[in-house]
Each structure stands twice: as structure tokens, then as C-alpha cells.
Amino acid sequence: MRVIETTAPMTGRHRRLVFGGLMLAGLMSSLDATVLGTALPTIVGDLGGLDRLAWVSTAYVLATSVTVPLSGRLGDLFGRRRVLLTGLLGFLAGSAACGAAPTMTWLIVFRAVQGAAAGCLMSSMFALTGELFEPRERARYQGYSAIVFAVSSIAGPLAGGVLTDHASWRWVFYLNLPLGAAATAVIVPFLRLPAPKGRPRIDYPGIVLLGAAVTCFTLFTSWAGTRYAWGSPVVLSLAAASAVLFTVWVLAERTAAEPIIPPRLFRDRSFSVACAVAAVGGATGFGLATYLPMFFQVVGGVGATRSGLLLLPMMLALLASSVAAGKYIHRTGRYHRLPAASMAVSAAGIALLATMDARTGLVAAGCSMAVLGFGAGLSQQVVMLIAQQAAPHRDLGAASSGVFASRMLGTAAGMAVFGAVVSNRFAEEVVRRVPDGRVPAFGDAVRPEVLETLPAPVRDGVAEAFADAYSTLFVAALPVAAAGLAAALLLRHVPLARRGPED
């Protein structure tokens, strides 16, 4: 039987310094998921390989999705310090290699290295926050970690554009080196955690099955409706393979000695509710946010950079509510109504967004997005606290990465399904609103350079068709938010345990 020692004594100042280093590491990895969008055209012009361009982003997302659940459990087995430092060194090496990549093929390979390391960083960030702070204090610090995602979603595309225009696209990757060096310099001397005792038994079948299932699911959600039609053999095969592999993995985990995500966690209602709310929050929050800049570009006629900035009200509201929720829990010790409030407010924001059309002003759209962002922030980090509260200490990393992986999979599924809703509805509406013979395909309608060449009546028809498609999208998202609300209402209040570094 494996025994894990309690956390080594660390002063409050050391814990705060380590948390600052974790924030830097999290910012570095989340920035790399958003920073490349504005640099990709220049990269293609320099390296070629237009036919493989999508893999630059897909390789990163795919590797991150696979390693998040795996690295959380490896931290439980081998020590979180080892996993975190492996992620830091791997990310720095991958960033340097990406910046020096001579061809598109090598860039894709090095992006996969970056993504795998990013999965280690993200899972370690949440698990170590749970390791370092007792539950009430932890809620406050996990609220602060929302800053990482809010900043990266806005600053990433802007930084990518500035560096590409005024330096080189290679500096998009080299920028990670000082950030990673600073994070390492803070974490290495102050993070003192004893390694787990005993010889861990690694669940190799579980690693292979879960990795294959997540790979198929990620490719399915990335390719369906974009690279391949929803009814194509490739998409149907990936969907079937992911379903079968997930089923086999669940069955295999029931008999594994050290399963990647122990089935015993799901016997606790709190953990199951946390995963469900995280998945719904990913779909209705981040999944919908992906398509909002496209709405402003096509319907509002704004540029790509400005459309990204128009998400600022949503991200600021998300940040404010996440920090406020953490402080509320820290002060009162109560948390069980926050996920339900999150789903209810998010549903209200989605309903407001469903009323948008071609005549909606930017102020009204910003207010509607702020409501959605505020709702998403109320459960953004709370679900992580709930999962960590429900899990025994030996499963802290598995519980943390399980919730984070649920959010990632929910986001991917939401993006795929909502994208299909928009494209199908647009195809129906554009035929009615655009003169015969001048109907653009969906892929052309969302490209500003194509829209600029169309006559005014055609552009107006495309904008109206796109607005109707988005109204349908938000109406379709309402049942998803309602399902999340129903799950959140099942959450019972369990007093926060006094479990932390002082105990």
C-alpha cells in the first residue's frame, strides 16, 4: 500500500511566491493556445505547407487534451514537483524549438511537444493550489487564477499580431523563454514537497485507452463540419472510435490498481456534479465565445483585431465574478449555490444574445456578453474547489485534472455542435436572402477579404442570414445551460474541510 506524506512545511510567503510562479507558468501555456491566430498567415508565407496549417493548432490542443488527465495522476504517484518541472522544461525546450523550426513539419512536431508540456503545467497549477492552501484560502487563490485565462484570451491575439508585424513570428515562441525562466526561478527554490513513498503501479492500459479516446474525440470535434462533412466516413469513424474507447477505458479502470481517474471519485455526488458543470460551462462559455468574433466581423463589419477586443466585456465580467466567488467562499465557507447561480445567469446571458440581429449596437451586445461572462465566472474555479474537497488527498491530482479535462472536452464538443448549427442554419437562410446565383459558401462568408468583394445587396443578405443563424445557435445553447442548472441543483453543501499545509 502506497503512503503519501503530508505537505512539507512552507511559510505563507513561500506559498505565495510559488503561486505567483504557477500563475506565470499557466499564463505562458494558455497564451500559446491563442497567440498564433494572427501569426499563421505569415508563418505559411515563410515556411510553406498551407495544406498542414491547421495542424499547427491541432497538434497543440490534441497533446494538451491527452496529457492533462494523465499528468494529474502522475503527480499523485510520483510527486507534483517532478511533473511541474518536467512541464516547465519541456515547454521551454518546445518553445525554443518552435522558434527555430526550419519547416512546417518540424513546427507541428514541436507544437505537440509544447502541448504535452502545457498539459503538465495546467494540471500541476490546479493540483498544487489545492496542495498549498487550505480549502477556504484555496478558493480565493483559485479565483485569482482566472486572471490567467482572461488575460491570455485577450492578450494572445494582440501579442501575436504585434510581434509578427514588428519583429518576427518566431518571437511569438521566444517570448515564452523569459516567462518560463522567471516561473522556474521562483518555483524551484521555494516549492518543497516530499515525494510519495512506495513504488507506484502505473496504469499502462488506462493511459493508452484514455489517450486514444481523447485523441479520437479531439480530432472528431476539430474536423467535423470543417475539414470533413458531418456524415463523412472519417468523422463517423472518429465518433464511433471515441465512444468505444471511452467505454472500454471506463471498464478497464474498474479493475486497475492505480487508475488514471479512479472510479471511486464518481461515487461522490459532488465530484460528478463538478465535472458536469465544468463540461457545460466549457460548452456555453468558451464554446460560444469562440464564435462571437465571427458574428461581429460578418454582421457588424468590424476588423479581426477589433472583433477580438469586443470580447473584453465578457472576459472582464468573468474575471470579476470568479474573484468575487473566491472571496465569498473564503469569507463564508459556503459554495454549493454558486454553480446553480452560474448556470442560471449564463442561461440569461445566452437568452439575451439570442435577441441580437444585424441592428444590435455594440453596447447592447457587450452588455449581453458581460452577463454570460459573469455567469461563467461564478463556477469557473468553484468546480475545481468542489472536486478537490470531495477527493481524498491521494487523488487530488486526478480530481483536479478530471474537472479540467471535463471543461476542455465540453468546450471542444460545444464548438463542434454549435459550429454545425451555425453553418446549417446559414445555408438555409442565405438562399432566401441573397439574389439567385450569388450565394457564397459558409467558408467564404466568414472571410472578410471575400465579403469586401461582394456587392452591397449580397453583403447585407449574408449579414442577415448570419444573424439569424446566430439566433438559432443561442437558442440551441439554452437546453445545454438548463441541463447544467439541473445538475448543479443536485449539489449538497458539505462544510469545507480543514485540510491544508498547516495540518
**Taking the CB of residue 435, how many other CB atoms lie within 10 A of it?**
10
pLDDT value for 349: 93
The residue among 296, 314, 415 whose CA lies nearest residue 373 is 314
DSSP, residue by residue, 3-71: --PPPPP--HHHHHHHHHHHHHHHHHHHHTTTTTTTTHHHHHHHH--GGGTHHHHHHHHHHHHHHHHHH
Which residue matches cell numbers 479540467?
404
Spatial separation of the C-alpha atoms in residues 31 and 41, rounded to whole Å:
18
What would the pLDDT profile of 405-461 be if each residue is shown by its tens digit? 898 888 888 888 888 888 888 888 877 877 766 666 666 666 666 667 777 777 777
Q: CA 415 → CA 117, 177, 290, 311, 318, distances in Å? A: 24, 31, 7, 17, 19
pLDDT value for 448: 63
Read off φ and ψ for residue 48, nearest 5 degrees: 75, -160
Residue numbers in the chain where pLDDT is lower than 70:
1-10, 37-38, 194-195, 198, 303-305, 307-308, 436-451, 497-503
Identify the DSSP state of 358: T
**Angle, CA of 54, 58 and 60, to the nearest 5°:** 130
Start-to-end CA span in the chain (Å): 23
Question: What secondary structure, in 3-state letters, does 139-181 show?
Answer: HHHHHHCHHHHHHHHHHHHHHHHHHHHHCCCCHHHHCHHHHHH
pLDDT value for 109: 93
Spatial separation of the C-alpha atoms in residues 172 and 35, rounded to whole Å:
7
3-state secondary structure of 228: strand
Spatial separation of the C-alpha atoms in residues 216 and 381, rounded to whole Å:
28
DSSP, residue by residue, 91-132: HHHHHHHHHT--SHHHHHHHHHHHHHHHHHHHHHHHHHHHHH
